[in-house]
């Protein structure tokens, strides 16, 4: 799990570098911080973990031997003890040892051979394991018993033999007559201990009994000759010894080359069974049984918790993907959760869905979904289609999950799906969702990986994951600010998605009126030298010079670059452009300084070679100028072309102006629009395919002509100018913008989209003419809504409470874009220069990076040290004393023994240590703890000196 988590972190980092996902950087560095914090947790827990194993219980061939033990360490440490193929897990309690039991298979008789013990401590999320492989002696197993032969079932009674002739002449160990006392030997029965003597002298003695030798049992190897097989003969002897052991009768054992005299007791029985176990030849070792590596059935509570985490991770996709994808994903997750309900056998069920959907059915569903998404989007490689398909595949994977490996894979998939949402937005809500989703999926990881963790336990995996995420935030902030940010992608793979709202590549009747219905933000502009006047807020975009009678299109024309003659002061502003998938930048007047890689076309259009697929910030400088005073004849001739035979009435009208001066022709056309009864509307009529300029300029009221939006007036005016002999073209872009008083910047929305005309005049170059301004002057000085309702207004209506609230939220969004989303390599270099760290890779930069990373781990270290302190006040004071003296307590060492050891090492501390010890005992064993006692203990700890 930890390796997969690390690979996922590297993968997301590569993706964020390639697609300049600033918020993705933050989430990736959060995962890196989690990875580092949990590494420290595992290291501390592993170093403190100690395991002791008890002596194994006796085992007979074909059974299991239980091996018990205890683990101590930091309170709440998840641990795992592995011995061969058997594993035990648990958590270390606060004050005692965590008990566990290992089941050791005893397949055949012989010496019990055990491999070395492997102990592992986990961090709280299961990303790390601190593993130690220890010899058996280090865990308290110096001597191992043997595996005894399995007793024969229903064995016949043994043959009785007399030890000597005559009653009382020869006696042997037995249970009839008391024969004396001997020293106590471990393993003697407590009922044979002389407790009266022990009470008087303090020494344990064992009473011995004997019996006539004629009553003793002798188990001889020869008595089992009829069985033939060695293992069968040993099995019968094992059954006889067990029967004598149960009844307490003395017995002797004779084996080839080995004889045990007649005796009784547990020690004699174990020695006899051990002799049977080690009898040569030993049987061939049987292969160890294979333990299942994967759980066949996933726990219901943990699986439901996982499905909930996946549902949260997939939730933002509902806002952008087809409805059927969201519904199908919800059905799959819901069905999987429904199948985890407890079954009721007593209920009569005539028909029930299968508990697990077959893999072949899910594979067919995945194929059909891919075909449907390809038909929906036209591709499966784009961001929209790709993320929708990925979310659906994750839901299908959840429906077919069978084992622990599948469950852990779902955790990694849930984290990866969270990162895909950054391809569609990086706002504050997306960041909040990412933080919640990452925390939730990390909690799910802890449930599946960390031993003895359930989804409904206290303090709960979600709370644990939240603490780890909080401790990882300082490292995330350091890396977010200082990690090198490349300026370009690692590879070129455009994220194709649905067309975003914005200016089109061509102008047709109705293009801008449809766009004006959108309130979405197109871009924001922050001016450093004051806002321009309303009549100067023409944001220049694509230039349309080709006309076929239906649409105006862009054209690539060869020729010399036109001239630019500056006429006004320079302005500087920062443009925060929303993603629109188009290569153009919006600029005022003529840009004099563009972002790296951008250029100015021969039509004075600012072009960025990389289409805007993510929100981006650009620093631009510009100034007013006369454009194209020196223009190529080829371009001028091209901007005189008109489709043959189209709109003859408009041609005749323009021909009547050819005798006028060029400026007078412009005034004549504007005067015609101003006095011709034209209206400005968002709902213009549909114009015919043929002679549409005539239909717009001369149509009757019965067909609703003489009404239009900016593209109608710009198209008709450019047609009239070309017909009148003046080169003309249409410029698309935006006009105006809304000033946000909270941030002092300009918000330009899609509804501010506008089209105007440029007419070339000798000696003046390309001159901007806005025919819409003569029909609706309010469009130039106010905003769209005012121009539609009051075309001649000079001032917009005051904004309401809701609008002010919206502007305040937008100001917060703009600050977020500036500080988080817009943080790139250029801003990083600027920041490093301002604080004196030089460039990325310089010595001051590296020293600052290492120092801040070290400081970022301080909160995690303080929390870890605080968590290691006992909760009891007296025990906590003793713990603090050991840290102060840098002398840890030995396992099981009492406070008094520890104080004596300290006094022997540092005699000068005797007085202060005695005072502490008295206060410790008073606080430790008093009925109630008081704050005064705790304060006194803390003061006494400070007085103890080395």
Q: Where residue 642 sits, what CATH number does that domain have?
A: 3.10.620
Compare 610 and 601 and report the one with higher pLDDT.
Answer: 601
- As a whole number, the mean pLDDT across the chain is 84
**Whether the predicted pLDDT of 466 surpasses 80:** yes
Rounded Cα–Cα distance for residues 590 and 564 (Å): 8
* Predicted local distance difference test score (pLDDT) of residue 686: 84
Mean pLDDT on 148-169: 68
**Whether the predicted pLDDT of 160 surpasses 80:** no
139 assigned to some structural domain = yes
71 assigned to some structural domain = yes
One domain for residues 767 and 846: no
132 assigned to some structural domain = yes
DSSP string covering 209-254, please?
A: EEEEGGG-EEEEGGGGGGG-SHHHHHHHHHHHHHHHHHHT--EEEE
Contact predicate 290/85, CB 8 Å = yes
167 assigned to some structural domain = no
Rounded Cα–Cα distance for residues 502 and 579 (Å): 9
Least confident of 170-174, 398-402, 752-756: 170-174
One domain for residues 76 and 40: no
Q: Domain residues for 545?
A: 506-516+531-569+627-794
Residues 6+ apart with CB under 8 A from 917: 895, 896, 899
Mean pLDDT on 901-907: 86
One domain for residues 650 and 719: yes
Taking 3-state DSSP, the helix, strand and coil percentages for the chain, each rounded to the nearest 5, stand at 45, 20, 35
One domain for residues 757 and 876: no
Reported pTM:
0.77
51 assigned to some structural domain = no
Q: In the listed set 739, 759, 794, which residue is the last one of a domain according to the structure?
A: 794
Q: In the listed set 794, 825, 853, which residue is the last one of a domain according to the structure?
A: 794
Q: Dump pLDDT digits (tens) for 227-245.
A: 888 889 999 999 999 998 8
One domain for residues 678 and 733: yes
One domain for residues 761 and 898: no
Compare 426 and 378 and report the one with higher pLDDT.
Answer: 426
Rounded Cα–Cα distance for residues 427 and 235 (Å): 76
Contact predicate 185/196, CB 8 Å = no
502 sits in the region (left: phi over 0; alpha: psi -120 to 50; else beta) called left
Q: Dump pLDDT digits (tens) for 344-366.
A: 554 444 444 555 677 778 888 88
Contact predicate 337/304, CB 8 Å = yes
Q: Give the CATH number, domain containing residue 70.
A: 2.60.40
For Cα atoms 518, 521, 524, give the angle at the middle one, nearest 5 degrees: 150
Using alpha carbons, select from 748, 702, 761 the residue that is nearest to residue 573.
748
Mean pLDDT on 586-614: 85
**Whether the predicted pLDDT of 293 surpasses 70:** no
Using alpha carbons, select from 430, 461, 86, 505 the residue that is nearest to residue 290.
86
Residues 6+ apart with CB under 8 A from 452: 78, 89, 90, 91
One domain for residues 787 and 863: no
Integer Rg of the chain from CA = 44
Domain count, the chain: 5
Q: Of 72-76, 462-466, 873-877, give the range with the top mean pLDDT.
A: 462-466
One domain for residues 927 and 906: yes
For Cα atoms 27, 31, 36, give the angle at the middle one, nearest 5 degrees: 145
Using alpha carbons, select from 61, 68, 127 the residue that is nearest to residue 97.
68
Rounded Cα–Cα distance for residues 309 and 414 (Å): 7
Phi, psi values for residue 775, rounded to 5°: -85, -40
One domain for residues 875 and 864: no
C-alpha separations of 154 from 158, 161, 254, 325, 340 in Å: 12, 21, 22, 68, 47
Q: Of 53-67, 74-88, 659-673, give the range with the top mean pLDDT.
A: 659-673
Using alpha carbons, select from 214, 283, 172, 278 the residue that is nearest to residue 270.
278
377 assigned to some structural domain = yes
One domain for residues 853 and 876: no
668 assigned to some structural domain = yes
Contact predicate 68/54, CB 8 Å = yes
767 sits in the region (left: phi over 0; alpha: psi -120 to 50; else beta) called beta
817 assigned to some structural domain = no
One domain for residues 858 and 890: no
Q: Which two tokens stand for residue 35?
A: 């990875």
What percent of the chain is modeled with pLDDT above 70? Answer: 89
Mean pLDDT on 656-666: 95
Catalogue the active-site residues: 710, 754, 770
**587 three-class SS:** strand
Rounded Cα–Cα distance for residues 46 and 123 (Å): 9
126 sits in the region (left: phi over 0; alpha: psi -120 to 50; else beta) called left
**Whether the predicted pLDDT of 920 surpasses 80:** yes
Q: Dump pLDDT digits (tens) for 167-205.
A: 444 555 555 667 778 788 776 778 788 888 877 887 888
Contact predicate 711/507, CB 8 Å = yes
Q: What is the DSSP letter of 818?
A: I
In DSSP terms, 564 is beta-bridged to 627
Task: Enumerate helices (H) and strands (E) in the chain, giving the number of each.
Answer: 29, 33
One domain for residues 365 and 394: yes
Q: What is the DSSP letter of 846?
A: H
In DSSP terms, 146 is beta-bridged to 111
Categorize the per-residue pLDDT at 944 as very low, low, confident or very high, splitting at 50, 70 and 90.
confident
605 sits in the region (left: phi over 0; alpha: psi -120 to 50; else beta) called beta
* Predicted local distance difference test score (pLDDT) of residue 877: 83
């Amino acid at each position: 799990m930890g390796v997969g988590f690390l690979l996922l972190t590297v993968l997301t980092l590569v993706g964020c570098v390639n697609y300049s996902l600033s918020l993705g950087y933050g989430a990736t560095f959060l995962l890196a911080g989690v990875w580092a914090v949990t590494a420290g947790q595992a290291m501390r827990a592993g170093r403190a973990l100690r395991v002791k194993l008890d002596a194994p219980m006796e085992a007979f061939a074909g059974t299991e031997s239980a091996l018990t033990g205890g683990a101590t360490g930091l309170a709440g440490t998840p641990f795992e003890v592995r011995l061969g193929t058997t594993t035990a897990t648990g958590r270390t309690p606060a004050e005692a040892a965590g008990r566990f039991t290992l089941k050791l298979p005893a397949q055949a008789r012989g010496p019990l051979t055990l491999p070395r013990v492997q102990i592992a401590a986990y961090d709280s999320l299961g990303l790390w394991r601190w593993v130690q492989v220890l010899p058996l002696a280090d865990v308290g197993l110096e001597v191992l018993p043997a595996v005894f032969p399995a007793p024969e079932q229903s064995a016949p009674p043994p043959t009785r033999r007399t030890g000597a002739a005559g009653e009382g002449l020869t006696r042997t160990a037995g249970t009839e007559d008391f024969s004396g006392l001997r020293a106590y030997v471990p393993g003697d029965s407590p009922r044979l201990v002389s407790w009266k003597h022990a009470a008087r002298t303090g020494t344990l003695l064992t009473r011995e009994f004997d019996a006539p030798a004629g009553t003793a049992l002798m188990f001889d190897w020869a008595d089992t000759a009829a069985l033939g097989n060695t293992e069968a003969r040993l099995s019968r002897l094992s059954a006889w010894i067990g029967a004598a052991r149960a009844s307490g009768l003395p017995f002797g054992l004779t084996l080839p080359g080995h004889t045990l005299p007649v005796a009784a007791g547990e020690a004699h029985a174990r020695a006899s069974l051990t002799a049977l176990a080690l009898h040569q030849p030993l049987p061939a070792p049987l292969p160890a049984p294979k333990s299942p590596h994967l759980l066949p059935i996933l726990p219901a509570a943990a699986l439901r918790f996982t499905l909930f985490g996946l549902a949260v991770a997939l939730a933002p996709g509902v806002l952008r993907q087809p409805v059927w994808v969201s519904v199908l994903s919800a059905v799959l997750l819901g069905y999987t959760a429904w199948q985890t309900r407890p079954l009721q056998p007593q209920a009569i069920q005539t028909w029930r869905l299968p508990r697990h959907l077959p893999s072949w059915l899910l594979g067919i569903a995945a194929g059909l979904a891919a075909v449907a998404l390809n038909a929906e989007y036209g591709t499966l490689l784009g961001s929209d289609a790709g993320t929708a398909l990925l979310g659906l595949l994750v839901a299908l994977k959840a429906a077919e999950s069978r084992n622990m490996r599948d469950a852990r894979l779902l955790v990694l998939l849930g984290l990866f799906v969270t990162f895909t949402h950054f391809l569609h937005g990086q706002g504050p809500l997306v960041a909040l969702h990412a933080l919640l989703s990452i925390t939730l999926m990390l909690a799910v990881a802890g449930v599946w990986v960390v031993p003895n963790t359930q989804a409904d336990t206290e303090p709960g995996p979600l709370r644990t994951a939240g603490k780890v995420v909080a401790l990882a935030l300082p490292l995330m902030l350091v890396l977010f600010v200082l990690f090198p940010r490349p300026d370009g992608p690692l590879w070129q793979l455009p994220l194709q998605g649905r067309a975003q709202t914005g200016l089109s590549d061509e102008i047709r009747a109705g293009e801008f009126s449809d766009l004006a219905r959108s309130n979405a933000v197109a871009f924001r502009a922050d001016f450093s030298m004051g806002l321009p006047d309303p009549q100067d807020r023409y944001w220049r975009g694509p230039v349309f010079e080709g006309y076929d009678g239906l649409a105006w299109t862009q054209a690539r024309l060869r020729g010399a670059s036109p001239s630019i003659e500056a006429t006004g002061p320079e302005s500087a502003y920062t443009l925060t452009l929303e993603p629109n998938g188009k290569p153009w930048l919006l600029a005022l007047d003529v840009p004099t300084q563009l972002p790296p890689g951008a250029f100015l076309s021969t039509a004075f259009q600012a072009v960025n070679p990389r289409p805007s697929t993510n929100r981006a910030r650009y620093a631009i400088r510009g100034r007013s100028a006369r454009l194209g005073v020196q223009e190529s004849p080829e371009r001028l001739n091209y901007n005189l072309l008109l489709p043959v035979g189209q709109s003859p009435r408009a041609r005749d009208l323009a021909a009547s102006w050819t005798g006028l001066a060029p400026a007078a022709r412009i005034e004549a056309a504007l005067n015609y629009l101003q006095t011709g009864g034209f209206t400005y509307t968002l709902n213009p009529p549909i114009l015919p395919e043929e002679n549409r300029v005539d239909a717009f300029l001369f149509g009757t009221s019965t067909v609703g002509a003489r009404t239009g939006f900016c593209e109608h007036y710009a198209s008709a005016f450019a047609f009239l100018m070309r017909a009148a002999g003046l080169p003309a073209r249409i410029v698309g872009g935006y006009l105006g913008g809304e000033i946000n008083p909270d941030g002092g910047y300009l918000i330009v929305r899609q509804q501010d989209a506008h089209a105007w005309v440029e007419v070339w005049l000798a000696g003046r170059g390309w001159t901007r003419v806005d025919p819409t301004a003569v029909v609706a002057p309010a469009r130039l000085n106010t905003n769209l809504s005012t121009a539609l309702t009051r075309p001649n207004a000079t001032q917009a209506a005051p904004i309401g409470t809701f609008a002010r609230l919206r502007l305040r939220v937008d100001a917060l969004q703009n600050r977020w874009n500036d500080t988080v989303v817009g943080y790139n390599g250029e801003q990083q270099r600027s920041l490093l220069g301002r604080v004196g760290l030089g460039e990325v890779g310089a010595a001051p930069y590296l020293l600052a990076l290492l120092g801040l990373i070290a400081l970022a781990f301080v909160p995690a270290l303080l929390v870890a040290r605080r968590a290691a302190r006992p909760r009891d006040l007296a025990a906590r004071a003793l713990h603090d004393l050991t840290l102060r003296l840098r002398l840890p307590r030995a396992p099981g060492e009492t406070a008094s023994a520890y104080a004596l050891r300290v006094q022997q090492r540092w005699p000068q501390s005797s007085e202060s240590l005695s005072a502490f010890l008295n206060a410790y005992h008073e606080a430790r064993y008093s009925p109630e703890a008081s704050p005064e006692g705790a304060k006194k203990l803390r003061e006494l700890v400070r007085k103890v000196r080395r």
